[in-house]
Structure 1
């Protein structure tokens, strides 16, 4: 089915699109311009939408705004925004009345004409997604990047060719209701995350598993052999299973032998690159490269992958060097929205760092974070709603003997200025909060850019 054929199939139906955000706005406009009767629903007020409200109404879109935006959903087709659970009472009631509940990504999987490559995981999925797309581009392929990064791809599906590649970063929220899986699926790792939205860890894992559950025998699934959860999931792979590992040498997949990344496929070994070829710092980025190599083996020449390793400087907000001032290096790792992400960031530095941490409480346990903070941090500056929880995890760490020193400073600017005052030549100041940003910022990107602006303004 093409995108135009899908639109034709719903032209005589009523459609509700929940969420007037980045991913849904192009879809709202496309459907309205194609003659579909669209109701756009959002908790935002008309004032919050500003001139966008008028533009949508000029296209014939009916707006349903405010606290009751989910009330009386009676449309034939309802597009769910990823952040909205599929089992909220209003959607359950709509489904019981016969409405079809779907999403922008679910429809894209129906209409995309090209190979689909999707990446998920608790940590590393954005970097791995970007690496795969860079590998393909270096090999001369046409690549469309979307999902959680890039741009919404559904509206561009008819412009794609069968020989193109769509590379998608998918969250657990997007995957929860997926009934199709990509041709190549990658799970970087799994650790507790988003437990403020998911009922429990089991539901979170089950959502991630949808990335490979609906594959076919000829498809490929890549798993982290060093992660207990993903190693167990690999046993249920439907298609060709490939593993990557720093700790062992899987029969089929990619592994680290000394400082060399080796690929073993169909019993044949090849040395792909040395870890010294990789410009990005940190052992976790070696893992990201192994995941990307396992996914692209057979599609991308080895030299193309080596060329990317030598030149790729990283993704914004992921251990991003902001500036060096008076011998002090300032790094933005605002993507550190969970303990496991922050632990990976801390392990990227040989020296003890000055760390700024804390933020919105996602109800993730900090037990594993405490010992790592003691080992890798000399001054811990705590901000946000989780400040006291993180302080407690340090104080209860078995290796805690009064170091790191801990300060609680509620506002980010004051935290950065304090870090700058306390830092000396050779020090590292790292923003890696181990928490989401929603207590003070819209998202981790806004938090990271605020950090960079403050650091850039230091005298």
Structure 2
């Protein structure tokens, strides 16, 4: 930790973005460097009145629309993940909590990235490692800034780090163990192209050395291409549900196998359902076996794992209808996986903010599915509605354009067959109508129960 402070001494330091991670960075700096002047840059002009900093006289603010112009005046810029850089000419002075951790704690870090499945994977992995008696902390995109846990790190502490594309975008360091689960179109409104998105995600493995480990999903074409890059230097472990040939972790006779060893019986009762969760479990099992964790500990903790809210979350049965909250589905792929996993979905509530992902595959899937009622809301709901209306095959579906979530829930209570499922799985982001996917899911719960 002292090396991080040494790196800051004698430099003009700017905190770029003052949300959860920016505040964490401020607290970290002020713990040891109380006398240096710090710059804070943010689009939100109200942050200068924040309780945390209102009495700090050694701050320089750069607020409002032109806040990014302040970068040129500083030697070290600690960026929050949500900040989009328009000018990359000064990217060499940009760092972040993620990059600092990867620089100084690389050998302790198990990094996990994916378009979907990151949080389930990191929380399950952390639970198992802790149950095995190993020292472990969880940080990153899961909602825990890395600096908030820095004082808990000892020499042998394992750091499970959930990594988004925004955290990985400008880093020149990679974790000792990297897990890549899948890659689908996402955040294209920020990254502009899928190629840029993939490039950012690939940094999790790009700077690994020969002693590092890359665990990857061989069934995902994009991920597999990254693993087969001739410039990759790390050792690879792969997982697959499609074959047992040339892979480390696979499925055979209802067991998840690791290099020929039966590890987990898929007939066990558990909360993690669906093929997408099998991939998450397989990645976790692979790392656990690398860490020499006992199979009984792995099995016990998979069986009792409680998924985080808003991920195929059972809300309850009302009027004979089972309601599920899948608000975390912000792109089409998890929506399709949820329908396949739950099986009895009669009504789908879909739509939200447009992240510039395509909906053709989802529309084709819905047409051939057993979903009877498709309630389309908000911007992407209108897109999906129009695409379905253009398909003659959709005439046997009850496709409706609704004003918003409240109307969708009202209609679903009348339209859904008794004994069947109403699934709210938007396949879209929540922005515009809600603060985030969590608020959307919370409101859905309230509407269902109301």
Bin for the TM-score computed over the shorter chain: over 0.9
Say if 1:228 and 1:114 are closer, same or farther in 2 by CA, change over 3 A. Answer: closer
Distance 2:149 2:271 in 1: 33
Describe how 1:242-391 pairs up with structure 2 within 5 A.
242-264=237-259, 269-277=260-268, 278-299=270-291, 300-374=293-367, 375-391=369-385
1:13 alignment partner in structure 2: 11
* TM-score w.r.t. length of structure 2: 0.93
Q: Displacement, 1:108?
A: 1.6
Q: Note if 1:440 corresponds to 2:433.
A: yes
Q: Displacement, 1:423?
A: 2.6
Cα deviation, 1:191-216, whole Å, max 9, x if unaligned, reads 11111111311111111111111112
Say if 1:230 and 1:140 are closer, same or farther in 2 by CA, change over 3 A. Answer: same
Distance 2:48 2:313 in 1: 34
Distance 1:103 1:368 in 2: 36
Moved more, 189-198 or 155-164: 155-164
Describe how 1:64-143 pairs up with structure 2 within 5 A.
64-73=62-71, 74-86=73-85, 88-89=86-87, 92=89, 94=90, 100-112=93-105, 115-143=108-136
1:216 alignment partner in structure 2: 209
In structure 2, the residue corresponding to 1:70 is in which secondary structure?
A: helix
In structure 1, the residue corresponding to 2:263 is in which secondary structure?
A: strand
Distance 1:235 1:432 in 2: 34
Say if 1:356 and 1:29 are closer, same or farther in 2 by CA, change over 3 A. Answer: same
Distance 1:403 1:84 in 2: 45
Q: Displacement, 1:59?
A: 6.0
In structure 1, the residue corresponding to 2:211 is in which secondary structure?
A: coil
Q: Displacement, 1:50?
A: 7.9
Moved more, 276-285 or 220-229: 276-285
Q: Displacement, 1:164?
A: 1.3
Give the number of aligned pairs: 442
1:394 alignment partner in structure 2: 388
Higher helix share: 2
Q: Unmatched 5+ residue regions in structure 1?
A: none
In structure 2, the residue corresponding to 1:303 is in which secondary structure?
A: helix
Say if 1:440 and 1:112 are closer, same or farther in 2 by CA, change over 3 A. Answer: same
Q: Note if 1:200 corresponds to 2:193.
A: yes
Distance 1:231 1:54 in 2: 45
Distance 1:219 1:140 in 2: 23
Distance 1:393 1:207 in 2: 31
1:61 is aligned, of 59, 78, 83, to: 59
CA contact (8 A) 1:115 1:183 kept: yes
In structure 2, the residue corresponding to 1:385 is in which secondary structure?
A: helix
Cα deviation, 1:53-77, whole Å, max 9, x if unaligned, reads 5634426332322222223331111
CA contact (8 A) 1:42 1:66 kept: yes
Distance 2:107 2:448 in 1: 43
In structure 2, the residue corresponding to 1:451 is in which secondary structure?
A: helix
Moved more, 121-130 or 149-158: 149-158
Backbone CA RMSD of aligned residues: 2.0
CA contact (8 A) 1:111 1:157 kept: no
Say if 1:437 and 1:298 are closer, same or farther in 2 by CA, change over 3 A. Answer: same
CA contact (8 A) 2:14 2:40 kept: yes
Distance 2:137 2:245 in 1: 31
In structure 2, the residue corresponding to 1:434 is in which secondary structure?
A: coil
Moved more, 334-343 or 197-206: 197-206
Q: Displacement, 1:152?
A: 0.6
